[in-house]
Amino acid sequence: MVDGDKMISKNVKPKEIGDSGELDLGRIIGILIIIAFFAWAYLSIFPYIRGPAADMNVNVKVDPTGNISQYSVVLQFADSMSYSKFLSDLKSNNIQSVNDYEFRTFSSSQLFTLDNDSKNQKISLNALTPFDPNKETSNIRITKNQDYWEFQDLSIINSTHLPEKYINKLTYSLTVPSKLIEANTLENSTVLLSNENVLTWHMDREKNPLNPLGENIASPIIFARFEVPEQNSFPIIPVAIGVVIAVLVMVFIIHRRD
């Protein structure tokens, strides 16, 4: 009987172990399937939770006459959903094309080139020639006072090139032609061998999978006050350096001939 009990015990035990192993494996597979499902669902709906997003880079340069000599805007959308949402928003507001939206606050589109790269969800705009912002734009102003000039750009908060709610990261670079008096940014540097100052504004709302809506950061008004630039200033230092180099080259050639 003892041997029989042992045999029964031996026969039952492996079966119990087998059932437990199959059950554990089934639970693991089930948990993995659930995790995979929720991961897929989250990644699928994340863009809609986050809303449309794009990085915006703006580069502006003011010359001593008060014209804008360089102007460029680059919009890089986060994904195809963001880009498609942008196009859909245009249609819902009865705006027929990207060109119509980008140039609606400018007096003429002939001043610029625009590249709408739908494959890479990227829009680039560049000025072809210097222009007077007070005459050609409705959001950029240069106010010329007797003792100082002021630059102000409302294009970011007024959604000139991109709906303000889309902006994830913003980098705005402004070059002014004289000594800076004040600006609502702490990032600035003086260009070597000139009186130009480069000012930079940064904003990052950090829209990402762990922070889908991003930080509630207000877009900036771009403002800078600077000294009245010298209208007919002669670039003495750069020219002097050029003259010295030219003289050294001539001396070197003469010595080579000798």
Tens of pLDDT, residues 217-249: 999 999 999 999 987 654 555 555 666 676 676
Taking the model in full, what pTM does it have? 0.75
CA distance 46 to 48: 5
Q: What's the mean pLDDT in 180-187?
A: 92
Predicted confidence at residue 8, as pLDDT, reads: 47
Candidates 3.30.70, 2.30.30, 2.60.40, 2.40.10; correct CATH number of 54-237?
2.60.40
Instruction: Give Cβ neighbours of residue 180 (< 8 Å, ≥ 6 apart).
Output: 188, 197, 199, 224, 225, 226, 227
* Distances from the Cα of 174 to the Cα of 23, 113, 160, angstroms: 66, 20, 17
Report the mean per-residue pLDDT for the chain.
85
Predicted confidence at residue 20, as pLDDT, reads: 59
Q: Which of 50, 58, 62, 67 shows the shortest CA–CA distance to 161?
A: 58
> Which pair of tokens denotes residue 30?
């089930």
CA 22, 28, 32, 38 dihedral sign is: positive
Predicted confidence at residue 191, as pLDDT, reads: 78
CA distance 150 to 228: 9
Residues in the chain: 258
Instruction: Give Cβ neighbours of residue 55 (< 8 Å, ≥ 6 apart).
Output: 75, 76, 78, 167, 168, 169, 170, 171
DSSP letter for 109, please: G
| pLDDT greater than 70 at residue 257 | no
Q: State whether residue 35 is helix, strand or coil.
A: helix
> Which pair of tokens denotes residue 211?
């922070």
Q: Higher-confidence residue: 189 or 65?
A: 65
Q: What's the mean pLDDT in 57-77?
A: 97
Tell me: the pLDDT tens digits for 185-207?
988 887 777 789 999 999 999 99
- 103 CB neighbour count, 10 Å cutoff: 19
Report the range of poorest mean pLDDT among 117-126, 208-217, 243-252.
243-252
Cβ contact 181:225 at 8 Å: yes
Q: Which of 214, 221, 112, 213 shows the shortest CA–CA distance to 158?
A: 221
Domain residue limits, the chain: 1-50, 54-237
CA distance 11 to 21: 16
Q: Which amino acid is at 255?
A: H
Cβ contact 85:93 at 8 Å: no
